[in-house]
């Protein structure tokens, strides 16, 4: 599949089949993520792949509350990938402070999309979650300081075979050339 087709097929999946994901497909997704660019080549990410059912359920339950239930679908994902990040070096810390930007979080977002694009190439669905209880997940997975969970990616085979039409603003509404 060419890149334009791949981008059109990648979507946030919130309903998964009860079917395990092959380890080699997960590994190819992780490899694609590993190759993502990062500020100062700092690579401020690690991945915790949660497949074990009881732990996966506990992590999934940390992505929603009784009041905020929109991530409840994480309970039916066969795989959860917790992405960790940290500020990796004094130079990146200094640059982040001077520019008032968390470069490690930008880098982790790029890395997550590499993962999800590869998942789409593998015939898998994914959804990047930013809403979750980071402290609870940190305790469940014994994540040491200074690393922190910054994203959770649900992964599995989509229960829907058809790709939804993308509802996006037009390019004319978001583009400006200054020549």
pTM higher than 0.85: yes
Q: What is the pLDDT of residue 89?
A: 66
The DSSP letter of residue 169 is: -
100 pLDDT band (50/70/90 cuts)? confident
- Whether the pLDDT of residue 93 is over 80: the answer is no
Cis peptide before 145 (omega within 30 of 0): no
Angle at 47 between CA 43 and CA 49, to 5 degrees: 165
Percent of the chain exceeding pLDDT 90 equals 84
Closest CA to 108 of 161, 148, 72, 142: 148
CATH no. for 30-159: 3.40.109.10
Tokens of 170: 């037009």
Give the residue extent of every domain in the chain: 30-159
């Amino acid at each position: 599949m060419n890149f334009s087709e791949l981008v059109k097929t990648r979507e946030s999946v919130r309903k998964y089949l009860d079917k395990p994901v092959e380890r080699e497909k997960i590994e190819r997704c992780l490899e694609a993520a590993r190759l993502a660019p990062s500020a100062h080549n700092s690579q401020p990410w690690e991945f915790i792949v949660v497949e074990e059912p009881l732990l996966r359920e506990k992590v999934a339950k940390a992505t929603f509350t009784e009041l905020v239930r929109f991530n409840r679908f994480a309970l039916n994902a066969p795989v959860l990938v917790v992405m960790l990040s940290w500020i990796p070096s004094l130079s990146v810390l200094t640059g982040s402070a001077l520019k008032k930007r968390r470069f490690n979080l930008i880098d982790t977002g790029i890395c997550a999309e590499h993962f999800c694009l590869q998942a789409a190439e593998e015939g898998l669905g994914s959804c990047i979650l930013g809403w979750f209880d980071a402290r609870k997940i940190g305790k469940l997975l014994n994540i040491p300081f200074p690393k922190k969970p910054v994203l959770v990616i649900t992964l599995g085979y989509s229960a829907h075979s058809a790709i939804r039409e993308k509802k996006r603003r037009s390019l004319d509404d978001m583009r400006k050339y200054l020549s």
